[in-house]
Chain A
Amino acid sequence: MKKLAIISFVAAGIALVSCSDVKRKPGAIYMPDMAYSRAYETYAQRDSSVFTTDPNDAENRIFYNNLPVAGTVARGEELPFPLAKDAAGDTTNYVASRQIANPEAALTPTELKETERLYLVNCGICHGAKLDGNGPLYKDGKGPYPAKPRNLVDDAVAVNMPDGQMFYVMTYGKNLMGSYASQLTRKQRWQIAHYIKGKQAEKHGGATTTAAAPAASPAATATAPAKDSTEKAK
C-alpha cells in the first residue's frame, strides 16, 4: 500500500513538472459545427480533390485561385497603368512612364490627411517621415537596412521625377525597392505621388510649384500616346 502511494506521488510530481507553461496547442472546442465555418474562410485550406488552382485542370475540378479575373477594375478604382514592367536590364517603359500624367485631382484636405497616413505607414519606414530618406530602417546607416533610401525632397532625381515615373516605381519597384502594388491601390499610389510632389514644392518654395504647373500641362497632352500604349498592351 505504501509503495503504491509513493509511486503515484512520484508520477504525479513528474506529470506536474513536465507541464510547460507555453501553450502550443489551441485546446478543445465545444460544438465544432458552430466553431468551424462550413463555407471557405480566408486562408482556409481547400480540399485539393475538389478545387484546383491550375486553369488547365478546370475541366475536372473547380478552378479557383483567389484572384479577380484579369482586367477587372474595382468600382471607384483608377484604370490600369498602361505600361508593363521592364525586363531586367531594360529601362524603356521606365523612361516612357515619365509621359503619363497623374489622373487624380489635387488632394483635398481630407484626402491629404489620408494620403499622409498611407505615406507614413508604407513609405515613411524607409524614406522617412520628413521624406529625407532617413526612416527608422536606415537611421543614418545604423538601422538594419544596408542601402540609403532616396531622399524624396532634396535629391535631384526625386525632385525631377514626374508623377508617372513615381507611379511606375511604386507599382513595379526600382533597384532595391519592391513593388507596392499589393499594398496600395492604384488610386492611393497616384495620390501618394501628389503628396510627395506637394512636399517637394513645400520644401523648395514657390520655385517648384510654378515649375510643376507647366510640367503638368505637357504631361496632360501626353495622355494621347499613353492611351495608344494601352491598346498596345492589350
Chain B
Amino acid sequence: MTHNRRFIKNVVSGLIASFVLLISNKVSAQDGKALFSANCASCHSVTKKLTGPALAGVETRGPWGDRKKIHDWVHNPAGFMKTDAYTEGLHKEYGIVMTAFPTLNEKEIDAILDYVKAEEAAATAAPAAGAPGAAQAEETGDSSLLFGIITLILAIVAFTLLQVNANLRKMADDKEGVPAHEPVPFWRNKAYIAFITIILFLIGGYFTTKGAIGLGRTKDYQPEQPIFFAHKIHAGVNQINCLYCHGPAHDGKQATIPSINICMNCHQAINEYTGKEKIYNGEGEEVNGTAEIQKLYKYAGFEPGKPWDPSKAKPIEWVRIHNLPDHVYFNHSQHVTAGQVQCQTCHGEINKMDEVHQFADLSMGWCINCHRTTEVKFKDNGFYSLYEKYHDQLKNGKLDSTKGITVEKIGGTECQKCHY
C-alpha cells in the first residue's frame, strides 16, 4: 500500500512539475515574442537578412554557442567587438554596430533566443505545407475556343441537314410524280439577295460607325508592362494610398509614374511575394509575384543583402495607358484636390485590378456628362474662395451649398476650359 502511495505521489508531482514547466515555457516564448518585436524586430528578422543578420541558427554561428557571450554582446556590442574577430567581420559586412540593450536581463535575452528557435522550427516546417494549390489555374482558363468549335460544328451540321432535307424532298417529289420545277439556286434568289444585302449594310454601317467613334479612344486598353505590377496587391490588400506612389496627382498636372526609389522604399526588405491572393494576368495565367520583384531588382541594380546604390538604377519603361490627345488640357490636381474626386471615379476600381486597363473611354462626351452631373463641393474648399458671388448667394440662402451647383454652372463645360 505504502509503495503504491509513493508511486502515485511521484506520478502526481511529476505531472505537476511538467505542467508547470510547460506553462512557464509557454510564457517565456510569448514574452520572447513581445521582447523580440519591441527590441529586435526593427533590424532583425528570424529568416531574412535585414539591417542586421537573420537570427535563425544564430547559436550555431561564431562565438554564439555560448549564451553568456550573447548576453555580453547584447549588453555592450561595441565593447564585445574589440575582443572578438567574428563580430568585427559582421561590422565590416553590415557597416553598422548593433545598438546596446543594457536594460535587457539575461532571462529576457534567453526568452528572445528561445522564441527565435521556435520560429525557426516553424519556418522550416511551413514550406512542406504550402505546396498544393497550383492546379487551380487550369480550370479558370479561357473556354471560348471550345465554344467556338462547338458552334462551328453545329453550324456545319445544320447546313448539311438543310441540304439533305432539300435533296430528300426532291427525291420524294420525283417518286410521287410531282413535276418539280427547276429550283432556283439561293445565290440567284432575289429575296435572298435583298435580305443578305440589307443585313450586310446594317452590319457594315454598325461597324463603320463604331470604328469611327472609337478612333483615338482606347477604352479597355491593357498593355503588357515591363514588370507585372499588381495594383490589387499594393493598393488593395496592402492598403497603400494611391498618392504614396502617385503623389503629384494632388499638386500637379500629371499623376506621375513613381521612380524606382519609391518601389525600393519597401522592396529593399520585401523580396518575395507570399500573400494568399493569387495574381492573374489578362489571359488568366497565374503570375509569380516573387519573379516580378526580381525583375525590379534587375532594373534597380539591387542585390538582396547588400546596400543599394540608387545611382545604378535604370528607369523602367512603363507603357502609358491613359492618354488624352494633345489638344485637350487635363490637370489632375484640379480634379483630385479642388474637385475632391476619388481616383476610382475615372480610373475604375484600380485597387481590385490585377493588371490595369483603361476604365473610362476618356471621350469628350464622358467628360461633359460628368461635369453636368457632378456637384461642386464648395464647403471647406479653399480653391473656390474666388467665387465670391456664389458665396454671397450661399450666405443669403439663395443657393443651397449641398445641392444643385454642378461643375457646368461654374463654367465646367466652357470650350476654353480644356481646349486652348
* A residues lining the B interface (CB < 8 Å): 6, 9-10, 13-14, 16-17, 20-31, 34-38, 42-43, 88-89, 120-122, 125, 136-137, 140-141, 143-150, 175-180, 182-183
Contacts and interface: CB of A to CB of B under 8 A. Distances in A.
A137 B243 contact: no
A120 B241 contact: yes
B398 interface: no
Nearest to B187: A1
B224 A145 contact: no
A198 to B, nearest CB: 21
Contacts of B43: 147, 175-176
A147 B217 contact: no
A199 B220 CA distance: 45
Contacts of B307: 88
Contact of A149 (B42, B262, B357): B42
Nearest to A1: B187
A121 B231 CA distance: 16
A136 B275 CA distance: 13
B264 interface: yes
Given A17-B144, A148-B42, A178-B261, A89 B96 contact: yes
A147 B41 contact: yes
B275 A10 contact: no
B95 A88 contact: yes
Interface string B15-32: 000000000000000000
Interface residues of B, number: 64
Contact of B145 (A17, A38, A88, A141): A17
7 A-B pairs closest in CB distance: A17-B148, A148-B41, A89-B95, A22-B282, A30-B215, A178-B265, A35-B325
Given A24-B223, A183-B247, A125 B217 contact: no
B348 to A, nearest CB: 14
B326 interface: yes
A106 to B, nearest CB: 20
B238 A143 contact: yes
B265 A22 contact: no
B327 interface: yes
A136 B148 contact: no
Contacts of A38: 326
A27 B218 contact: yes
Given A29-B215, A42-B254, A146 B269 contact: yes
Contacts of B264: 178
Contact of A147 (B51, B247, B326): B51
A28 to B, nearest CB: 6
B391 interface: no
Nearest to B324: A35
A140 B95 CA distance: 28
Contact of B326 (A10, A35, A150): A35
Nearest to A12: B152
B45 interface: yes
B268 A176 contact: yes
A177 B325 contact: no
B46 to A, nearest CB: 9
Given A6-B156, A13-B148, A35-B216, A147 B269 contact: yes
